[in-house]
Structure 1
């Protein structure tokens, strides 16, 4: 495989499992130096070891992106270590499901903190570096990819606040695309449907079982399927901007 991202640096948030882990490995396979960011240091180190065993370069950054200072410091540490930042994948996210009347406010707050504020913290810190990279990269382009969800397009009972966060991510992505696209920073959104990750294991008892029944007859997407979409976006020639990819499991109807 041609190393289409050689001499570039990528940062992936929520990289300790699932889509983030698969995306980091995919970008490393394309030749990018990959900075893996998350809260679970041990898992990040294990991922970095796998990337290195495959011949890639990985840099571990343990941080909580819901903390503005930690998020900014994480981004700056990557740029300082490698002198640039070409690709950012905002993947970190949490999902809470359940009727609004029964939902704990703490669950709503957590979704807002991670899915919205965390993404904003990383994006704000990364944008100056992406703008610079777009000017001096041999590829002539930089990329910001936000991982949203089908929940950012279709609202359903029981997912109101999750919908709020993901519809917000979609709107933010589109507005930012229009702001910086002319400066060769491509801003894109990937909206996965049901994916076989840890996300559903964090749901409350009762809610989790209901979700498992709903998706029981669906062959779930694998994290690698979403990572493929991200890699496709960021490996296009600079003349091509893939603004949005919606990818559902084949049997998913919602």
Structure 2
């Protein structure tokens, strides 16, 4: 029996790569020998991370990215393709989580979550899918959340966006035979995600739970596992949370 091992030096694009899970994933995959391209709005930050990866012997590039803009996503993907000649993996990681009770009517924050967490994922898929189809190979890793498996007070809209990510991912998986699709659903993870919570009471409550949070590197390790599997093995879903999380 022949095992389709695939490339061990893949070109991996990572959105939301300026901190947290995105940064940790970039560092882990670069350490595994992959070429990583970091995308985010904070260009100074992704440039610094890419420089550190290069100094450690890895291959890394960076490009300004606003996932809510299809044009920006297209430029991000095109730049990586022009530099490396192919796009093997896209990690749709960019996300926001301004939790609040629905009765607070923070409609702008609801729309921001829809734009980043759902449209951002769709924009990523739209930008890479033609290239991956032409290559007859590719891997899209979408970062969801355990909030995509359950709904809690203050998280109704956030959960809705993460349920959507899982639905989009499953639909894409079923439509594909050459493309691998992985959903990674983190639990409490140390990152800047909670910094976007503007409701002071909710932010304090979330902050009180962070003592059990796992490092972002744990999620990067899970993504590395999925990416490193043979081409004929598709790790569809990984749920990873702190042991102490209920």
User: C-alpha separation between the residues in 2 aligned to 1:221 and 1:148?
Assistant: 16
* Residue matched to 1:154: 150
Q: Which runs of 4+ in 1 moved over 3 A?
A: 4-7
User: C-alpha separation between the residues in 2 aligned to 1:25 and 1:130?
Assistant: 24
* Residue matched to 2:139: 143
* Residue matched to 1:167: 163
> Given the superposition, is the C-alpha separation of residues 236 and 103 from structure 1 closer, same or farther in structure 2, using an over 3 Å criterion?
same
> Given the superposition, is the C-alpha separation of residues 21 and 5 from structure 1 closer, same or farther in structure 2, using an over 3 Å criterion?
farther
Per-residue deviation, 1:65: 1.3
User: C-alpha separation between the residues in 2 aligned to 1:78 and 1:65?
Assistant: 15
User: C-alpha separation between the residues in 2 aligned to 1:142 and 1:26?
Assistant: 19
TM-score by length of 1: 0.91
TM-score by length of 2: 0.94
Per-residue deviation, 1:208: 0.5
Per-residue deviation, 1:5: 5.2
What are the residue-to-residue correspondences of 1:1-254 with 2, within 5 Å? 6-133=8-135, 135=136, 141-180=137-176, 182-183=177-178, 185-204=179-198, 205-213=200-208, 215=209, 218-253=211-246
User: C-alpha separation between the residues in 1 aligned to 2:205 and 2:10?
Assistant: 43
* Residue matched to 1:138: none
**Comparing 114-123 with 199-208, which one deviates more in the overlay?**
199-208
**Comparing 83-92 with 198-207, which one deviates more in the overlay?**
198-207
- Deviation string for 1:75-134 (max 9, x for gaps)? 11111121100010000000021110114111101101100111111110111122233x
* 8 Å CA contact retained: 2:25, 2:224: yes
- Bigger RCO of structures 1 and 2 (CA < 8 A, at least 6 apart): 2
> Given the superposition, is the C-alpha separation of residues 23 and 5 from structure 1 closer, same or farther in structure 2, using an over 3 Å criterion?
farther
Instruction: Give the unaligned 5+ runs of structure 1.
Output: 136-140
User: C-alpha separation between the residues in 1 aligned to 2:206 and 2:105?
Assistant: 15
Instruction: Give the unaligned 5+ runs of structure 2.
Output: 1-5
Number of equivalent positions: 240
User: C-alpha separation between the residues in 2 aligned to 1:179 and 1:54?
Assistant: 39
User: C-alpha separation between the residues in 1 aligned to 2:164 and 2:8?
Assistant: 33
User: C-alpha separation between the residues in 2 aligned to 1:219 and 1:68?
Assistant: 37
User: C-alpha separation between the residues in 1 aligned to 2:9 and 2:25?
Assistant: 18
